[in-house]
Structure 1
Amino acid sequence: MDARDFVKIGMSAERTLVVPPERTVGHFVPDMPMVYATPMMILEMEMASGDAVRGHLQPGWITVGTEVDIRHIGASLVGSTVRTTAKVVAVERRVIRFEVEAFEGERKIGDGRHARGLVNVEMFNKRLGAK
């Protein structure tokens, strides 16, 4: 399967999240501030990237995250509304590359690049079963 046949540069998606306490660094690490945790921001960026292409994949195929290069440049408190965007910037045979950003209002709180690999679910599960 070649992603270039159905995924196009410019495809995009957006997600919105009201930051809950369980997505803060203080939730995971005692004595740390209750601000939006970097891994949770990256999760939303990955989810937005998957959303951007999911409806265009062939049955039995998914994408999985393979690379992240992210900057977290601003803190957000519990209750803040964070908007995360992802846009396809390159498509290779089995790799889809995205530019991702996160905002609290108009203020950018994160940006970077993310890649997702195209995977056949049946073959993937067979490989996992062999381990």
Structure 2
Amino acid sequence: MDARDFIQVGTAAERTLVVPPERTVGHFVPGMPMVYATPMMILEMEMASGDAIRGRLQPGWVTVGTEVNVRHLAAALVGATVRTTSKVIAVERRVIRFEVAAFEGERKLGEGQHARGLINVAKFNERLGAT
């Protein structure tokens, strides 16, 4: 399967999240500030990337995250509305590369790149011995 046959550079998606307490660093690490946690921001970036291409995948195929290179630039408090964007910047045979960012209003909270690998679910599960 070659992703270049059905995913185009420029394909994009965005997600919006109101930061809940359970997505803050203080939720995971007692004594830390109750601000949007870096891993949670990256999760939204990965989810937006998946959203951008999900409708273009063949039945039985999905993508999984394979690379993350993200800078967390600014904090966001509980209750902040965070908009996360993702845009396809390169398509290789089975790797799709994205430019990702997160914003609170016009203020950039994070930016970077993310890659997802194209896999056949049945073959992947068989190889891992999963059901």
Q: Same fold (TM over 0.5)?
A: yes
Match of 2:41 in 1: 41
Give the C-alpha shift of residue 82 in structure 1. 0.1
Match of 1:8 in 2: 8
**Which structure 1 residue ranges, 5 or more long, are not aligned?**
none
The 3-state SS of whatever aligns with 1:39 is helix
Match of 2:87 in 1: 87
TM-score (norm: length of structure 1): 0.98
TM-score (norm: length of structure 2): 0.98
**Which structure 2 residue ranges, 5 or more long, are not aligned?**
none
- How many aligned residue pairs are there? 130
Match of 2:51 in 1: 51
Distance, in Å, in 2 between the alignment partners of 1:18 and 1:71 is: 20
State the identity as a percent: 81
Match of 1:74 in 2: 74
Distance, in Å, in 1 between the alignment partners of 2:127 and 2:26 is: 37
Q: Which ranges of 4 or more aligned residues in structure 1 deviate by more than 2 Å?
A: none
Distance, in Å, in 1 between the alignment partners of 2:127 and 2:21 is: 37
Match of 2:65 in 1: 65
